[in-house]
Amino acid sequence: MTQEMPNSLIEFARAAQGALAPADWDYLTEGALPGQAGGDNVHAWNALRVRPRVLRGVAQADISTTVLGARISSPIFVAPNGRATRYHPEGERAIVRATAAKGAGALLASSVGASIGALRASAPNALLWSQLYISGDRGFIKDRVELAHASGAGAIVLTVDLLPDANALKPPPLKPVAWETPKNGEPAPLFTGASIDDLAWLCDISPLPVVVKGVLRADDAAECVAAGARGLIVSNHGGNQVQDAIASATALPEIVSACGGRAEIYVDGGIRSGATILKAIALGARAVMVGRPFSHALAVGGEQGVAACLALLEHELQRAMLLCGASRVSDINRDLLAA
C-alpha cells in the first residue's frame, strides 16, 4: 500500500518526532551540549543570498553529475546518522533500495545492521560509499577496507572529527553485529591519537579512493590531499562535537581554494533545500551530504519516505537552477551568490 508522504522537509521532521522514541529523536537533534541544537549550519546557509540570472533560454535543468568518476542522478548523497535501524526496521536496506532506484548515492555508516555485501545484494546497482573511523588496530582497518572493496563500495570515507565519549553518542551506540566484530571478538576502539601518517598509510593500502570527512580548515585540507585523499567532506559532524565550531558553509570556500582542484570537495551540515544545494555547488562543492532529513524520512516511511525526500530535494534543485538560468550543474558558479 502506498503511504501518503509529507511534502516538505519540515513536515517530515514533525512526523518523525512523533514516530521516534524520545531518546532517538534527541540523538538526531542535539548539538555539542545537551539540549543545544546544531542550528548554526542551517543559519549559515540561509545567510547566503542568490543572484539569479534571467532570460537565459533555459527550459530544462539536468541535475546529474559525477563523483569520483561515477555518474549519479543529482549532487545529493544520503549521509548516515548512526545505524539506520535505529529509525526504521529496514534501516540501510531501505536507504540503499531507494537511492539505487533513483541512481543516487548513499554513504553507509561505519556500523550498519547488515553487511555491505548484503546491502549490495539487495540493490546490485547502488552507489555505496563506506564510512570508517580510524582505529589503533591497523589489522582491523585493513579488514574493513578489504570487505568494502570486495562488496563493491565506491570509496572509503574516513571520519576524523568524533571523540568517543562525546555527548552526541547518547543514547549508547548499538551493539556491534557479528559481521563487524574483529576476529578477536573485541570491538576496536576509536583512535583519538591519529595523525596525518595514519591517513597516508590508509591511502597507500586502500584499493578504493579515500575521502576524509570532518575537515574545517584550509591547512588540514591541504595536508589530507598531500597524504593521498581523493576527496574531502567539509563537515562539523552536524554541530554535535566541538561546541561553537565553524559552520560548514563558512569553511567551504577556503577549503575549495586550498585544494585547487586536486581533490573533489563535498559538504554536509544544514542542507535543507534545493536552493541550499545550489549555494553549496556555487561555493565549489561537488556534491552535498544530507543526513537528518533522510533519517526523518526513513522514520516516517521507510524506503518510500527516503525516495520521497530525495525526489523533493531534486525537484527543488531543478527549480532553483531554472530560476537561475543554469541548465547543467556545471553552470552553477560563484557568480550566482552575492558577495
Active-site pick, 43, 149, 237, 315: 237
Q: Measure Cα distances from 303 to 68, 120, 260, 290 in Å.
A: 26, 15, 38, 16
- Cα–chain center distance at 284: 16
Provide the grid cell at 9. 522537509
Give the up-direction half-sphere exposure of residue 239: CA atoms within 13 A in the CB hemisphere: 26
- Crossing angle (nearest 10°) for helices 40-47 and 248-259: 70
Q: Which of 72, 74, 52 is nearest to 63 (CA)?
A: 74
The C-alpha atoms of residue 311 and residue 132 are separated, in whole angstroms, by 28
Q: Establish whether the linkage from the previous residue to 171 is cis, with ω within 30° of 0.
A: yes
- Which residues are paired to 66 by β-bridges? 71
The C-alpha atoms of residue 204 and residue 210 are separated, in whole angstroms, by 10
Annotation marks residue 88 as catalytic? no
Residues with catalytic roles: 237
